[in-house]
Chain A
Amino acid sequence: MEWDDDTLRRFREGSPEVLADVYRAHAEPLARLLKAAAWRGAFTRLRNAMELENTLLETFARAFEPRTRAAYNGTRPYAHFLMGIARNVLLEQSRERELVGRDVPFEGLTEASGEDGGLAEVLEDREVEGLLAVFKDGLSREEHRLFELRFGEGVAQEDAATALGLTRIQVRRREFGLKSRLLGFLQSKGYLEDLETQGWSFFRRGAR
């Protein structure tokens, strides 16, 4: 995203719109950087999805504190600024957990994915990719197109509806059906068996 004077001013003022823009522009890249660092051997706990999400949340929460916002000058790449905060977050977490934090720059890490479970995770990723490929092979042409548009390309529901000649509601329903089938398929193959797919409780968002 562009950091012009107006954007920087509103960011420092805490404009919700700008903060949302900054989050949306940087959450995925930061997640990628953190995951890459984890795969290279630094803070391997970030291979765990929840740990990664917790770190992201903590990093953005600190980055959006008024004092931290004021400290950003708009010229340094914000991704670097964020990564510095993330690194501090991780080191603090390591200290709190009495783990040995690897106090080395992310850039300086060597490849070490074969250690501490890395190989197992690579194999599991391949297993998942294989299962997804088999599932996609079993879809009709239209389902396959919807699957690709929505999940592969991240196209908005409205745009996917236009591309497929459907209404947004139809896309929404079919998408839900596809995901349910995918979950059933994965479970039939022994993956995610532990999930409950029947019945709802208070977690469900009420119909409006």
Chain B
Amino acid sequence: MSGCDDRRAKQAMAALFEKGSEGLDTAGFEQLRAHLAACPSCQDTYDRLSRVESALEQRALPRSRSALLEQALWVRMGKAASPAPRTVVAEPARRWFTSPFLVPLSLGAAAAMVALMVVVPSLQRPEETAPEWQARSAAPGVGAWGVRAFCIAPAGAVVAEARPGGTLACAEGHAVQFSYTAPERARLSLDGTSVTGEALHFFPREGSASDVAAGVDVTLPFSTPVQGGWLTGPVLVRANFTDAQGRTVADTLVTLTPAAP
């Protein structure tokens, strides 16, 4: 039963089987699904793979598929929430930046992997190393509140990083991904202002602020593509953590600047 010569699709399915959700990233999974939709032969193979995995795990939905579908879901929700094309008319209302590509876990995972490499050892480090590892906080010694920003290349690689108070240079076509550190549950908002004075709202997708759980370098569930000209000059992004009563518990600033592609 052949009928399909697309080696990449077959390799992708093999990778999915052998490595689970680590074998494909979100984009790869989407490409595979697009291919499957038009290829009955590969659909049959995919079906057999699923049958084996379901039998292995005794699940209707193998874990790897569940994880990749979850990522596809966030991508799709991000696209659905993408802003309308920018108009020339000045609009005083703030612009909602809800990640047209919203590559939540593929890009997020890239950032998270980098973050984890940095963060995990920090949990066990003695106090004297704080300057190196404590940069997640905007105010060292006061508490571990803060956000970091990462610039993610289209292929998913982290190409730059900024710690609280730092500056992140990110080129058109890349994406900005934030992660936060909060010692306790709080409400978080990420807002900035473009060089043209336009209000930019990075997080949350809906509402003025969203609850976030306590955690260290928790990657936000979506990224913001650098496109459409919103990053033509320095953008000062303020991460505001508030308590349940709306009182500010911490503020962090990160500056985003355009970079040459």
- List residues of A whose CB falls within 8 A of some B CB: 10, 13-17, 20, 23-24, 27-28, 31-32, 34-35, 48-50, 52-53, 56-57, 60-61, 64-66, 124-125, 128-129, 132, 151-152, 154, 176, 179-180, 182-183, 186, 191-197, 199-206, 208
Q: A132-B55, A200-B11 are in contact. List 19 more A-B contacts (CB 8 A).
A: A10-B210, A16-B205, A28-B66, A35-B60, A50-B46, A50-B47, A52-B61, A53-B69, A57-B76, A61-B80, A128-B52, A180-B18, A191-B52, A192-B48, A195-B13, A203-B12, A205-B22, A205-B23, A208-B114
- A205→B113 CA distance, assembly (Å): 13
- A16→B207 CA distance, assembly (Å): 13
Contact B157 A208 (CB under 8 A): yes
Contact B56 A132 (CB under 8 A): yes
Contact B52 A10 (CB under 8 A): no
Which listed residue (A129, A179, A201) contacts B8, Cβ 8 A?
A: A201
Contact A16 B69 (CB under 8 A): no
Contact A16 B58 (CB under 8 A): no
CB-defined contacts of A128 to chain B, threshold 8 Å: 51-52, 55
Which listed residue (A27, A35, A61, A152) contacts B77, Cβ 8 A?
A: A61
CB-defined contacts of B4 to chain A, threshold 8 Å: 194
Which listed residue (B7, B24, B70, B157) contacts A206, Cβ 8 A?
A: B157
- List residues of B whose CB falls within 8 A of some A CB: 1-2, 4, 7-8, 10-15, 17-20, 22-25, 28, 31-33, 36-37, 41, 43, 45-52, 55-61, 63, 65-66, 69-70, 72-74, 76-77, 80, 104, 110, 113-114, 155-158, 204-207, 210-213, 220-222
Which listed residue (A15, A31, A151, A154) contacts B211, Cβ 8 A?
A: A15
- A124→B44 CA distance, assembly (Å): 13
Which listed residue (B2, B31, B61) contacts A194, Cβ 8 A?
A: B2
Contact B204 A17 (CB under 8 A): no
Contact B10 A194 (CB under 8 A): yes
Q: Taking the nearest CB of chain B, how far is it from the CB of A176, in angstroms?
A: 6
Closest to A60 in B: B73
Contact A61 B76 (CB under 8 A): yes
- A65→B1 CA distance, assembly (Å): 41
- A196→B2 CA distance, assembly (Å): 12
Which listed residue (A48, A57, A129) contacts B43, Cβ 8 A?
A: A48
Q: Taking the nearest CB of chain A, how far is it from the CB of B11, in angstroms?
A: 5
Q: Identify the 6 closest CB pairs spanning chains A and B, nearest first.
A: A49-B50, A16-B221, A31-B61, A31-B60, A196-B10, A203-B12
CB-defined contacts of B24 to chain A, threshold 8 Å: 203, 205
Contact B206 A197 (CB under 8 A): no
Contact B60 A199 (CB under 8 A): no
- A162→B73 CA distance, assembly (Å): 33
Q: Taking the nearest CB of chain A, how far is it from the CB of B10, in angstroms?
A: 4
- A96→B28 CA distance, assembly (Å): 28
